[in-house]
Amino acid sequence: MTKNIVSKLYPYVIGLKVTKCPCANDVALLGFLLNSTLDGVYIGLSSSGFWNYDDTTWYNLTDMIYSRVGEEHRELSIVDMVLTNHFLVILTSLGLFISGDLRYPSSPALTFSRTDFCGFERVDYVKGKLWYNERCFANREHVEVDYVTITFERNRTLSEASSCFYSNEPFLEWLPCLPLILHGRKVGLLTVITFLIDQDQSCGVYLLSNQKEISVAIHILRNNKPRLKLKYPSFTFPSSFSSPIGMTFHPRSHFLYAYGNQVWLSMDGGHTFELLADFHDDIIKNTYHSFYTSDIIFVAQSGKVYLTKAGLERYTEIGSITDKIFTLYYDHMGFIHKLTPDHFEAGRPLATFRNSKGIFGQVPDMGFETALALQYITLNEMIFYAYVPENEPENSRYTKQFNNIHLGKVIHSRKTGTAYIRKILKHDILKGFLSSVIAEMTDPFGVEDVSESSCLSSSLSISQDGNFYKLTLQMQTPGVTSSFQDSDVEKTVVIPGYSSFLITRIVDANNALAIATMPGRVPNGMTFVKDSWFLYNFGQRNGRMWTIYERPCNYWFQQHDDSLSLSVLKYIDLGKSQSLKVKVIPNTKGIRTFETSLLKVIVGNPNLLEVEAEGSFDDTDSYLMKISVSSKTLHQGSTSLAFIVWGASTDCFVTTFVPTLKSSCSYLKSIHHIPSQYIPLEDWISGVHEDSQGFNMIKTLPINYRPPSNMGIAIPLTDNFYHADPSKPIPRNLFHKSKKSGKFKQCANKSTREECNCTNDQKFSHAVAFSDCREKVPRFKFPVTQYPISLEIHSEDGHTPVETPYLVTVMEVNRRENWELTHTVPENVKKLKDHLEPILRAPVYNPSGLNLSIRGSELFHFRVSVIPGVTFCNLVEEFQIYVDEVPLPFPGHPLIAIASAVILGGLIFLTFMLQIHNIHPWDKCRNLVKRSKWKL
């Protein structure tokens, strides 16, 4: 679609949906949600993260969708869509459509299949939602499965299986989310708001609603289906969480967020939740996540935008969006983009915004309209109390209180001074103050002087007056004007060592009423001379004198390895371990660093791996943590391991580091045979490599060569051809058994060797799968005795020799004999050998000191395999040896056979001739014997 055609769609667009590739977030799709006056499915594809509108390629899938549902249907539009690792799932107003496998397209145009949900019509589909737990399966294990859920905003009827369905790829069979019977509860009363699959712990996580409560239930998965058994008791939210919208996992992590009029965070996959934010009458409608920077954005119904970091128990307001139609998108580098129908606006990582104007406007002041009362605890530590007037309506009192958004922020005075908020406190019995914060001063606050408040020229006495305290001025210097003024209302009287007082009303020039911050520390009846008491102005009568903003980044995160990536994948094989080191460097000028761990470590599935953590401070107050991870069981799987700098500001670029750990075989791990003599690649290409005696150690195999069998050199029985060329005759093909054996692999159904398309890697490969391409093999003189079979394991950690417990089996792939192996068998190896050989039905060898002797001739092709149970990897290596210059054997056996045959044949011929001539030599001998007896 051209840009002009796309621009004609803008008047009909009422919403946008964006989805991105789980492994490459710069590859993303943008869909137009249309009103009822225009039909169509229009999707834009970006391979560069929507940086430039003109780089987006647009596709019209309308005809393809109509080919599945029929032209008689109308009002077609996208409702939602999800791009999984291998499939595109599109929810439209006319049904759910699944693409073919994106890795193996069957045609140039993308094709879709339609999934039917019995009883659901267009009015249901337009209110449907898709839910997906984003995980990258680039090097996919058999235990890793993609799931997608669809929910409909209505209760199911008696004829319908559910109003929530889920499926795993290839998304052909969609099953009800809820088990048939849910522990005796009436399933009909339950509404599934969201259903997600916890990949770490293989569980189904439900956000459920009924007429009385909102809860989260976790059910164990068996064979990709939720069982009736709950993994943990259900978690029930308080009644204040009255408008739930959804639930989502942060990508590739175990952090679960439930959102609506409140946001709740679970670090254990839904077992428990902590309140992160309460928006009261406002509702979070959408969340957007960046795996790279751990950013999470919440967009409220009012247009306000909030930011948190994955795993942090604090958040901040970063601005608002006034666009009527928009969506947000994080690219692969953590840059935020605002997408609208006609243009894209790219921002920077939110950690670099500070107070500069970004795509969300000017960073807002997070203060609220009330006065603060200052109470010093120490010289650098203080409490700020938020004043709530007695006549404040109950339903708006929360607007004059500190809440979770203020944790970790900085209070700024319009005069001078800043303080860092460490803790939020709530009060039930303290009159006039329902909340407060404990803060640490980073810059001293300015006090009022006599020119601003003339009352400071007098002494001050304190006395109780009902529920208030009367502050009375006493003239200390004759002729000096000193009185309370209306501008002193909402100022704080600070008396070192005693309670502070917030002035609420001026009675007359010498008297004022105030409320105490610490009633138990009121100096009732005491008088304080001037300069022993002070006034601070944190009021709002003449404009609010204080503001709250996000704290600048206070910690730097450093990885102690060569990797600079925040997307780390570690494999832990059986019996192996991995270590991770991270350092947190404080950037907290003027603030104390407590001797407590600066990092919180969260393991997604603690039952999968053994994780040990050790943390310590160095001389520069930096915190170093070392994590050791080792295999625990024979169970394969993956888990996230989160490092959270729990005290970090959301202004930091990195606060959470989430490597992925797999109890599995690394795709980089392999076993290799190390030849006894190295042959350079250029010699392999030329086919000549002579040893010190001038013997060429490379053998170029004849075309269509097959090794001999046990029946003789001229009777090959193997199915493997070497140096195959279908256009050339096949040697050694005279006998019937030889004609029946032998099958081309790479050259099957080809007419020439060029058509076999053998690559150089295949030509030099020892694998039997590429024997058609193999032309040259190592050549040895007869006899081969005590040839050392040296094996190494190559992985991302380097090269290591194969040793116990990595025992091996060895076989000759062409079923040849005339070879034998010798090895050392220590006592521990002997026990393993005796145990494994009956199970594997093959000899088991110790790879240390393994030697090969060959008594036959020509090509021997060996396969070495590591026994199962000592590694998750299928470690198999093959190598070939061509034995040449075999001396002729002594001809004694053939000569004896020939002589015996001649003698036997002569005897048979002689007997035959005597019978023909009727000569009976036996009778003559008998007569001769009788005559001799008579003579005697």
Are the CB atoms for 331 and 49 separated by under 8 Å?
Answer: yes
**Is residue 901 classed exposed, middle or buried when 0-12, 13-18 and 19+ CB atoms within 10 A define those classes?**
exposed
Q: How far apart are CA 231 and CA 607, in angstroms?
A: 14
Please enumerate in sequence order all residues whose Cβ is within 8 A of that of 514, keeping only pairs 6 or more positions apart, or say none: 468, 469, 470, 471, 493, 501, 502, 503, 504
Beta bridge partners of 743: 720
Across 100-163, the runs of DSSP E, i.e. the strands, are 112-115, 129-132, 147-151
Q: What confidence score (pLDDT) does residue 159 get?
A: 46
State whether residue 167 is helix, strand or coil. Answer: strand
What is the distance in angstroms between the CA of the first residue and the CA of the last residue of the chain? 131
Please state the φ and ψ torsions of residue 840, each to the nearest 5 degrees. Answer: -85, -20
Looking up tokens 């249309």, which residue turns up? Answer: 34
How many residues appear in the chain?
Answer: 936
Place of tokens 């991870």: 629
199 token code pair: 């990949």
DSSP secondary structure letters along 47-64:
SS-SS-GGG-EEEE-HHH
User: What is the bridge-based pairing of β-strands 876-884 and 776-781?
Assistant: parallel
Q: What is the pLDDT of residue 156?
A: 58
DSSP code, position 102: T
Closest C-alpha to 312, from 604, 646, 585, 657: 646
818 Cβ contact list (under 8 Å, min separation 6):
854, 855, 856
* CA 346, chain centre distance (Å): 26
Task: Give every CB contact of residue 706 below 8 A, 6+ residues apart in sequence.
Answer: 716, 718, 720, 721, 722, 732, 738, 741, 742
Whole-number Å distance between alpha carbons of 781 and 699: 11
Distance CA 331, CA 327 (A): 13
- Do residues 284 and 263 make contact, with C-beta atoms less than 8 angstroms apart? yes
Residue 783: is the preceding peptide bond cis (ω within 30°)?
yes
87-100 residue pLDDT tens: 999 999 999 999 99
**Cβ contact 664:631 at 8 Å:** no
What pLDDT was estimated at residue 812? 95
Residue corresponding to tokens 């560069």: 48
Predicted confidence at residue 349, as pLDDT, reads: 61
CA distance 886 to 889: 9
Residues 6+ apart with CB under 8 A from 564: none
Q: Which residues pair with 256 in a beta bridge?
A: 249, 266
**Cis upstream peptide for 843 (omega within 30°):** no
Q: In the prediction, which pLDDT does 922 show?
A: 75
Strand order in 468-474's β-sheet? 527-528, 459-465, 468-474, 511-516, 501-508, 491-494, 534-537
* pLDDT at residue 911, rounded to an integer: 82
Q: Determine the pLDDT at residue 355.
A: 41
Q: Which letter does DSSP use for residue 743 in this model? A: B
**Mean pLDDT per 10-residue run, the chain (936 residues)?**
90 95 94 93 94 92 87 85 96 93 85 88 91 91 90 67 86 88 53 92 92 92 88 93 95 95 95 95 95 94 95 94 94 92 81 59 93 94 95 91 94 95 91 94 93 92 92 82 91 95 94 94 92 94 93 87 75 90 82 75 91 89 91 86 92 91 91 93 93 93 94 91 95 90 93 94 94 95 92 91 92 93 89 91 92 93 94 94 80 75 87 80 75 62
pLDDT at 369: 94
- For tokens 């404080």, the residue is 586
Sequence-ordered list of residues with C-beta below 8 angstroms from that of 242, at least 6 positions apart, any chain: 214, 260, 261
Token pair in block for residue 89: 């799932």
Say which amino acid occupies 777: V
* Pairing label, strands 433-443, 501-508: unpaired
pLDDT in tens, 812-870: 999 999 999 999 888 888 988 999 999 999 999 999 989 999 999 999 999 999 999 89
Q: Say which residue the tokens 């019209």 belong to.
A: 60
Evaluate the omega torsion of the peptide bond into residue 108 and state whether it is cis, within 30 degrees of 0.
no
Give the whole-angstrom CA distance, residue 247 versus residue 151: 12
DSSP state of 352: G
Ramachandran region of residue 334, left (φ > 0), alpha (ψ -120 to 50) or beta? left
**Do 697 and 779 contact (CB within 8 A), yes or no?**
yes
Q: What phi and psi, each to the nearest 5 degrees, are found at residue 192? A: -85, 110
Q: What pLDDT is recorded for position 350?
A: 56
Residue with tokens 């401070």: 617
